[in-house]
Chains A and B, each alone.
Chain A
């Protein structure tokens, strides 16, 4: 299935999904990239996995701080059809919250914990949403652009 057909199938099921266009002057992401509203992310992900497209492999989940909003990016493959998809969703920077996809792909479990740890994104319905990389009692979310590092005893 080529990228146009993929996009048509997804948009047929979810009209709210849009093909992501790179900002003026920017290079495209070299793959089919779609934008989806954060409110329906769990529904879309569940369908992408169990529907006919079989995106069964969540390769990567990254958060990005764009200063006016947060961005979550899901990199998906299908092991059977070998096609790829990049799914993006915008989040409100003051109250980043969306439903977890850890029940769709188990791999999301630690990726979401990392995004919570680094950006403070709350994943509702996550089985164990705790900090994962930073030390116990760490304050703030280090990958936000306005994070100010406090010198510790070693600095």
Chain B
């Protein structure tokens, strides 16, 4: 604040945004120092949803931790399941049957579409467009119905198992997926006409909250956030897992790293996910869905860091086994937690009205930030 302003009786104001605020997507508390309308200092205050997941994990069996993983990023539970099973599988050297691998990929990619649809809908609301929300939830509903037909749950699936998946696909699932992809493809164009190129939406997002390539790497951002800044980093390609190396798909990237780029990367990713699902459905053949695994899971002594490309970014699990039925240490590297950290730097110098636009574009889930 300039001395001139101080002499005229103006002073810095502290504004508390949240923890209960519709635009913070959960219980996030932002402490903002304001000079008029301009933010001079920002401090995210997190932890309101902290449930001690890592401590609880040390008192649960490896299998039970899959159910716990549903509660990290609760709108993309399939990806969490994926991260939770890879570690013990590698430690125990389990070869997962091909059919189970394809089923896992189909589930993870469907869930990516569902997660990005939530982003699309809620980001519209953040900016002031209410209609996209209904469009997005209409499509997401169809994905949830598919998930429900497989595992009975609509949010916390608990579908993956160490060595495979818990149930084979019901008869109507594959036709349902095919019908959904056919229905969904044209909808992406509809979204573009509805929101992506809307002049008001672009005014609010283009050139706002830019992150440079160097900054994105320095703050270890991942997922669509780092790709929007022009870094081609995707774990499905860079450190491939499961059967992702068998599919032909592109990694959409942005140039400027602003809010609009982050938005567009996610929109394009939905199309790529649809492509992966189509290929996986083609490759799906009858077979086993579970490897032969002992009833009691006791991975040998050792440690491993496994990561998957979750819809929000790099979801890593660092687990240490002491040879017992429960993990000795179970560290979760949530992408939302790491992506959110840059907020304290990004918000400085922006206007108060842009806070919601920037926060929404990072696409966080507080369940994963606080764990």
* Residue among A23, A56, A79, A135 having the largest count of chain B Cβ atoms under 10 Å: A79
Known: A59-B316, A64-B320, A75-B318. A110 touches B338 (CB 8 A): yes
| B contact face: mostly helix, strand, loop, or mixed | mixed
Is A82 interfacial (CB 8 A cutoff)? yes
For the A-B complex, the count of residue pairs with Cβ-Cβ distances under 8 Å equals: 94
Contact B333 A60 (CB under 8 A): yes
Interface residues of A toward B: which range?
35 or more
List chain A residues, Cβ under 8 A from B275.
none
B47 pairs with A134, CB closer than 8 A: yes
If A57-B217, A59-B333 touch, whether A133 touches B371 (CB-CB below 8 Å) is yes
Binding site for B on A (CB under 8 A): 22-23, 25-31, 56-60, 62, 64-65, 73, 75, 79, 82, 86, 105-107, 109-111, 118, 131-135, 142-143, 147
Q: Contact at A30–B90, with CB atoms within 8 Å?
A: yes
- CB-CB contacts of B114-142 with A at 8 A, as 1s and 0s? 00000000000000000000000000000
CA separation between A105 and B320, bound complex, in Å?
A: 25
B191 CB-CB contact with A under 8 Å: no
Q: Is the CB of B217 within 8 A of A26?
A: no
Contact A107 B302 (CB under 8 A): no
Main secondary structure of the interface of A (DSSP, over half): loop
| In contact, A133 and B302 (Cβ under 8 angstroms) | no
- Which one of A28, A86, A106 has the greatest number of beta carbons of chain B within 10 Å? A106
- A29 and B304 form a contact (CB under 8 A): yes
- Are A107 and B341 within 8 A (Cβ)? yes
Contacts known (A30-B90, A107-B220, A110-B341); A135 close to B320, Cβ less than 8 A: no
| A133→B320 CA distance, assembly (Å) | 22
Interface positions of B from 310 to 328, Cβ below 8 Å from A: 314, 316, 318, 320, 328
User: What is the minimal beta-carbon distance from A64 to any residue of chain B, in angstroms?
Assistant: 5
Closest chain A residue to B344, Cβ basis: A109
Contacts of A23 on B, CB cut-off 8 Å?
301
